[in-house]
C-alpha cells in the first residue's frame, strides 16, 4: 500500500478519499485554490498546499502545479476524484513520466472511452449492444440527412468528446437537422475543443441504468450491481438509487455480464461505470465513465464495499478479495444531490455564506459533505453542498427514510435543492418506480407546485430552529477551535 497520496480535487470527494486513506493508514495531501483556503477538506488532510487562483484553469486544472506538489510532498500516487482532471488521459501520462501512480485506468483506456465514436466501435466489436447510429464523425449536412433518414427520426446529435450531455440535441424532423448540427458543433468546440459530432437513434423515455465495475491489474473484473440514475435535468443526474426498481436477477445477470465484458475487452483496471439506456426490455451501451462516480455511495450501501479503498488497493497492485458470486445485494439505497441552487427559479446557482447548518442523522443515514456553518460556497465550482444517502431494507423504507432525513436537513443562508427532493419523494409516480430520463420535464408542473408548498413549510421550521444555532461570535470561536484542532491533528501525523 502507498504511504502518501495526493487528492487532485476538492470538496466532499476530497474528504471521501481522505477518509479511506486514514482507515488504510495512508497520509493524504490536499491541493487547494485561493478560494478554498478555509475549506473543510484542507483542514481534514494531513498536509495541504495551494496551487493557484480560484478559477479552475489556474488551480484544479493546472496539471503542472499539481504534479509539482506531488513531487515535493513525496506523494506516491494521485487520486483525481471526479470532474476536473479525472478523465483527462494526459494526467496519467504525466504521472507516469514523474514516477507517480494514477489511481485510475490506463491513459489509453481513458482516451478511448472519452471519445464516444471510438467507444461505440470498441463496444460493438466486443458484442455489447449499442444504439443504432454512425460509426464515424459527421461533417457534411447532406450525409447527416441521409443517415438520419436511414436510422429514422427522432435522432440525437451528440458531441464525440466530453460528457454530461453537453450540446446534445434531439431532432424530430429534417427541418431541424441543420440547426441542431451547427448548435452541437459550436457547443462541442467551445466546451471540449473538438467539434466532431455523431448521430444515433433517439430512444424515447429510457431508463438510465449503470453498472459499477471493479477490475484489478491481474485480469479479474467484477460488477457490484446496478444503479438507477433516471431522475435527471438537462442530462445531469439529481437522484440515484440502487438497485433499480425494474431489476430482476435474470436481467442483472445479463446486463452485468455484458458490463464486465465491456470493461474486460478494453483492458480496464480500477473502478469505472458502464452506462446503459434501457427501454421496453432492450438495453444499449451509452458510455463508460473511467472514474469513481458521484453516486458511488449507494453501491457501497447495498454491498458493504468501500469502493474508494478498493481503488487504492487495486492501484497498489493488490488482487480483488472476492469473486462475482460473493457480491450480494442487500436492501435499497437512495442518494439525493444537495446543491446550492434555487429549484423554484430554474435551478439557478445560489452560492453564498451558510448561516445555519444542521445535517440529519439516525439509522441508515449518511451525509457526504464538505461544508460547515459560516462557510462561504465559492461561485467558481460545482454547486454541490453534499450528498444525502439513505439505506432501507426495501425501496419503500428507503423512501420513507429519505423523507425523514430531508425534513431534518436545515441549511440557511443559501437556497438549496432540498425542496425539490422533498417534492420528488412525495411524487406518486416516483414512489411507484415509473422512472425515465424525462421524468422531471414530464411532471415539472406537479413538482413545482409541490415545491412551493414545501418551501412554505420549511420556512416555518427554519424559524423554529434558528434559535438553536450558535450566535455568530460563538460560531467564529468554535470554527477557530475546530480549525486549530484539525491543524494540530494533521501536524501530529507528520
The torsion of the CA quartet 210, 212, 215, 219, rounded to 10 degrees, works out to -50
Least confident of 39-53, 131-145, 377-391: 131-145
CA-to-CA distance for 395 and 63, rounded, in angstroms?
42
DSSP state of 317: T
**Using 50, 70 and 90 to split pLDDT, how confident is the model at 456?**
confident
The answer on pLDDT for 472 being more than 70 is no
User: What pLDDT does residue 490 have?
Assistant: 52
CA-to-CA distance for 70 and 78, rounded, in angstroms?
8
Reduce the DSSP state of residue 437 to 3 states and report it: coil
The answer on pLDDT for 361 being more than 90 is yes
pTM of the model: 0.89
Q: Facing residues of 106 across strands?
A: none
pLDDT > 90 fraction of the chain, expressed in percent and rounded: 77
Reduce the DSSP state of residue 250 to 3 states and report it: helix
The answer on pLDDT for 475 being more than 80 is no
User: What pLDDT does residue 197 have?
Assistant: 86
**Using 50, 70 and 90 to split pLDDT, how confident is the model at 353?**
very high
CA-to-CA distance for 421 and 401, rounded, in angstroms?
13
Q: Facing residues of 276 across strands?
A: 209, 285
Q: List the one residue out of 271, 272, 267 whose CA is nearest residue 309.
A: 271
- Given a contact cutoff of 8 angstroms between Cβ atoms, the answer to whether 332 and 391 are in contact is yes
- Given a contact cutoff of 8 angstroms between Cβ atoms, the answer to whether 236 and 224 are in contact is no
Q: List the one residue out of 337, 352, 382, 341 whose CA is nearest residue 82.
A: 382
Cell 460509426 identifies what position? Answer: 135
CA-to-CA distance for 211 and 200, rounded, in angstroms?
22
> In the chain, which segments carry CATH 3.30.470.20?
207-463
The answer on pLDDT for 112 being more than 60 is yes
Average pLDDT over residues 41-50: 97
Average pLDDT over residues 406-418: 94
Average pLDDT over residues 1-21: 98
**What's the angle, vertex CA 2, arms to CA 21 and CA 19, rounded to 5?**
5
Q: List the one residue out of 330, 77, 87, 324 whose CA is nearest residue 213.
A: 324
* Phi, then psi, of 64 in degrees rounded to 5: -65, -45
User: What pLDDT does residue 167 have?
Assistant: 80
The answer on pLDDT for 476 being more than 60 is no
Largest CA-CA distance found in the chain, in angstroms, rounded: 69
Q: Right CATH number for 4-103 from 3.20.20.210, 3.40.50.20, 3.40.50.1000, 3.10.20.30? A: 3.40.50.20
> In the chain, which segments carry CATH 3.40.50.20?
4-103
CA-to-CA distance for 299 and 249, rounded, in angstroms?
16
CA distances from 378 to 13, 40, 189, 368, 436 (A): 16, 13, 27, 18, 33
Q: What is the DSSP string of 37-53?
A: TT-HHHHHSSEEEEEE-
User: What pLDDT does residue 195 have?
Assistant: 84
CA-to-CA distance for 340 and 229, rounded, in angstroms?
20
**Using 50, 70 and 90 to split pLDDT, how confident is the model at 222?**
very high
The answer on pLDDT for 250 being more than 50 is yes
The torsion of the CA quartet 125, 126, 130, 132, rounded to 10 degrees, works out to 20
Q: CATH topology for 132-201?
A: Dna Ligase; domain 1 (3.30.1490)
Q: What is the DSSP string of 158-183?
A: EESS--TTTT-EEE-SGGGHHHHHHH
> In the chain, which segments carry CATH 3.30.1490.20?
132-201
| Residues tagged active-site | 291
- Given a contact cutoff of 8 angstroms between Cβ atoms, the answer to whether 26 and 2 are in contact is yes
Beta strands in 172-327 (DSSP E): 197-201, 207-215, 221-233, 236-242, 270-279, 282-289
Q: Does domain 207-463 have CATH number 3.30.470.20?
A: yes
Amino acid at each position: 500500500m502507498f504511504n502518501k497520496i495526493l487528492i487532485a480535487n476538492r470538496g466532499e470527494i476530497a474528504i471521501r478519499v481522505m477518509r479511506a486513506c486514514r482507515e488504510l493508514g495512508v497520509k493524504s495531501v490536499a491541493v487547494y485554490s485561493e478560494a478554498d483556503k478555509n475549506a473543510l477538506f484542507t483542514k481534514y488532510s494531513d498536509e495541504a498546499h495551494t496551487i493557484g487562483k480560484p478559477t479552475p484553469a489556474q488551480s484544479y486544472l493546472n496539471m503542472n502545479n499539481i504534479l509539482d506538489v506531488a513531487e515535493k510532498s513525496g506523494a506516491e500516487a494521485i487520486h483525481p476524484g471526479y470532474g476536473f482532471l479525472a478523465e483527462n488521459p494526459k494526467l496519467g501520462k504525466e504521472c507516469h513520466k514523474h514516477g507517480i501512480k494514477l489511481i485510475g485506468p490506463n491513459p489509453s483506456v481513458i482516451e478511448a472511452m472519452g471519445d464516444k465514436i471510438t467507444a461505440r466501435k470498441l463496444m460493438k466489436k466486443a458484442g455489447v449492444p449499442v444504439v443504432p447510429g454512425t460509426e464515424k464523425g459527421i461533417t457534411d449536412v447532406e450525409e447527416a440527412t441521409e443517415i438520419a433518414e436511414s436510422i429514422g427520426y427522432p435522432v440525437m446529435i451528440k458531441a464525440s468528446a466530453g460528457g454530461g450531455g453537453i450540446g446534445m440535441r434531439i431532432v424530430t424532423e429534417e427541418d431541424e437537422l441543420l440547426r441542431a448540427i451547427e448548435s452541437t458543433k459550436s457547443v462541442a468546440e467551445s466546451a471540449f475543443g473538438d467539434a466532431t459530432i455523431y448521430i444515433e437513434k433517439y430512444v424515447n423515455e429510457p431508463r438510465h441504468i449503470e453498472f459499477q465495475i471493479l477490475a484489478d491489474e491481474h485480469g479479474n473484473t467484477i460488477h457490484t450491481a446496478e444503479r438507477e440514475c433516471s431522475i435527471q435535468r438537462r442530462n445531469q443526474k439529481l437522484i440515484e438509487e440502487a438497485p433499480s426498481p425494474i431489476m430482476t436477477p435474470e436481467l442483472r445477470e445479463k446486463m452485468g455480464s455484458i458490463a464486465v465484458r465491456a470493461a474486460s475487452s478494453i483492458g480496464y483496471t480500477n473502478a469505472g461505470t458502464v452506462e446503459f439506456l434501457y427501454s421496453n426490455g432492450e438495453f444499449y451501451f451509452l458510455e463508460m465513465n473511467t472514474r469513481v462516480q458521484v453516486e458511488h455511495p449507494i453501491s457501497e450501501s447495498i454491498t458493504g464495499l468501500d469502493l474508494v479503498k478498493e481503488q487504492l488497493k487495486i492501484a497498489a497492485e493488490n488482487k480483488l478479495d472476492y469473486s462475482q458470486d460473493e457480491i450480494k445485494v442487500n436492501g435499497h439505497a437512495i442518494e439525493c444531490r444537495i446543491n446550492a441552487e434555487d429549484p423554484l427559479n430554474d435551478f439557478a446557482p445560489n452560492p453564498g455564506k451558510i448561516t445555519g447548518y444542521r445535517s440529519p442523522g439516525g439509522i441508515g443515514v449518511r451525509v457526504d459533505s464538505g461544508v460547515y456553518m459560516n462557510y462561504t460556497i465559492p461561485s467558481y465550482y460545482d454547486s454541490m453542498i453534499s450528498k444525502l444517502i439513505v439505506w432501507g431494507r426495501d425501496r419503500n423504507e428507503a423512501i420513507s427514510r429519505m423523507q425523514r432525513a430531508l425534513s431534518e436537513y436545515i441549511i440557511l443562508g443559501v437556497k438549496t435543492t432540498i425542496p425539490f427532493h422533498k417534492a420528488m419523494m412525495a411524487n406518486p409516480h416516483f414512489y411507484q418506480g415509473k422512472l425515465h430520463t424525462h421524468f422531471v420535464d414530464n411532471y415539472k408542473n406537479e413538482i413545482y407546485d409541490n415545491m412551493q408548498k414545501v418551501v412554505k413549510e420549511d420556512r416555518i421550521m427554519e424559524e423554529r430552529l434558528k434559535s438553536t444555532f450558535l450566535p455568530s461570535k460563538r460560531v467564529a470561536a468554535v470554527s477557530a477551535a475546530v480549525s486549530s484542532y484539525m491543524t494540530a491533528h494533521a501536524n501530529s501525523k507528520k
